[in-house]
Chain A
Amino acid sequence: MKKLKAILRCLYRLMLSCYPRRTRCAFSEEMLHVFDRCVLHHSQRGAFALIAFFSRELIDWPFALIRAYQTEIQLDTIERHQIESGMVGEFFIESEDMMDPSDEFAGRDRGQALWMALPPFLLGLGIMFAAMIRTDVWYRLPAWQLYLSAAVNLLPGLFVGAVGLVALFRRIPDWGITWLGAAFMGFVLTLQILVGELADEGTIVLAPEVETAIGLSLFISGLTLMLLLAHRGWSRSSIFTLAAAATMGLSLLQAVTAAPFNRDDLALLAGPIGLAFAVLIYIYVLRQDRRRWAVLAVAGGLNAVLVGIMAQAISGWRTAPDAMAFVPPLLVLITGLLAAGPLSGLLVRPLLSRLV
């Protein structure tokens, strides 16, 4: 029974973490306290009563969440009206840290900007150094060189992934947005490569329905993250997709190192291009709206250059007339990803406030 109670408490805390920030700040401690009292009460009547109580909580949870988010949006609208009309109204919520009507990053200091800029730089360095270690095509390399190169390539990715996960568990604070964006895209691409490799080797061949289900789940997860950030303001959803698009762009330099292209020379560009993306993120965090749009445009240009580099690598190997057919869809995909953040950020708040 003790274990069951601990598990249920853990699950309930997880459920609480999904409520909007203001609700959490104002009520989560109290809700947990009431939950504990209820658990104590029902556990005295046996495990069945306890599970029945928790099932009730679980069934009601999505409805309570929807109502909480509706209230949150109404409060946002009221706050915006108050700010626009110069009113400083007293709201029923007491603590200042519950209020976040601003569309700007919480603490736009250089340290935070630098930290937020790190993911593409680290990923770029990983790809570049791994290419430098490989002095020949992979099948002619000694094992130690191959493993070292793989480790150098993987380590930054693992680090970015770990920080991204921490950011996710901490409900995506501003410092973690770019890490989560890079980690999410890195995860999607790694999974795609893994599934492809396993299928090539014939180890695990996924049914098309399973592949579609996985793809759809990833798409919905990415979309949810983006929309959550869009609800906090366009500057946040934009930097999320900027980090994701930068990761996707850099992954093209990783792709050209694979057989049959074996273009390690092109992968050396990953370092400087990763640095360029990092500088763009740094500028984005510290500057205001107009320069942010310029940053997004330059990032789009950089991604186009990366697609061009990949096209060049492929053209050296394959001369079929349709060899370049992948370029337009890839360009649309990578630019669409970059544009999805700002667009959703500009649309989500007005749409939701009209709907509610």
Chain B
Amino acid sequence: MDKDNFAAEVLPLTETTFLILLSLANEIRHGYAIMQDVEALSDGRVRLSTGTLYGALRRLLREGWIIRVDDAEHADLGDERNKKYYRLTGAGEHVLNFEIQRLRALLESATLRKAEATS
């Protein structure tokens, strides 16, 4: 599948999916950290419930856009439970980049149209 076909098939992403992928773009995170980060990224507008978060994570795992890892280095001190972390895969990174490009193009078109309208 070439780049355009792949992009056409998976885009546009839902806001939740986009924010979760974006949250994992710079570092691996556990569920709670993703939840917090999504809220911060959206200026408090998107507050994920645990059900929605894990439903989305499960789907992203199935698509192969993220993977689940055990990472002792990231475990909180004193936390006995073995936390699971999520990391973006190569495919996930591609999808995220495609979506950013799409949004950027959309924004540029919108800005251009708005500028034309005001002038």
Contact = CB atoms under 8 A, between A and B. Distances in A.
B50 A35 contact: yes
Interface of A: 23, 26-27, 29-31, 33-35, 37-38, 56-57, 59-61, 63-65, 67-68, 71, 92
A30 B75 CA distance: 13
A4 B62 CA distance: 36
A268 B31 CA distance: 61
A34 B50 contact: yes
Nearest to A15: B51
Instruction: Say whether chain A's binding surface is mostly helix, strand, loop, or mixed.
Output: helix
Contacts of A61: 49, 51
B32 A37 contact: yes
Contacts of B51: 31, 57, 60-61, 63-65, 68
A63 B49 CA distance: 11
B87 to A, nearest CB: 14
Contacts of B84: 30
Interface string B86-100: 000000000000000
B109 interface: no
B77 to A, nearest CB: 15
Nearest to A40: B32
B54 interface: yes
Nearest to A28: B54
A343 B98 CA distance: 48
A23 B58 contact: yes
B31 A34 contact: yes
A27 B54 contact: yes
B25 interface: no
